[in-house]
Amino acid sequence: IMYFNPLWIARHLLFIKLFSIQFEAISFNLLEIAFWSFLVNIPISFVANYIIQNRFKLKWRFLGSAIFSAILAIYYALSETLFS
């Protein structure tokens, strides 16, 4: 869970703004959005990680974790729209 911390989320939001040439949208507001996105995701991550670690067979844990990480990456990219 700490891997996807608010600074990590803010960094990716910053990269999205830089690569989409939206320099005027870069502000400390990205940190606030990242904080709320992280806070909302904590219970979801605990449940998902519990399921992956305790319900998936060892053979499928890596794939389950990779899919969950991909879903989180999409969620964090959409977090500016969700939490603005």
Contact 56, 64 (CB under 8 A): yes
pTM of structure: 0.79
* Rg for the chain, CA atoms, rounded: 14
- Is the pLDDT assigned to residue 1 strictly greater than 80? no
Mean pLDDT of 55-70: 96
- Is the pLDDT assigned to residue 5 strictly greater than 70? yes
The DSSP symbol for 29 reads H
Number of independent structural domains in the chain: 1
Mean pLDDT of 60-74: 94
pLDDT, tens digit, for every residue of 22-62? 999 899 999 999 999 999 999 999 999 999 999 999 999 99
Q: Which domain holds residue 57?
A: 2-83
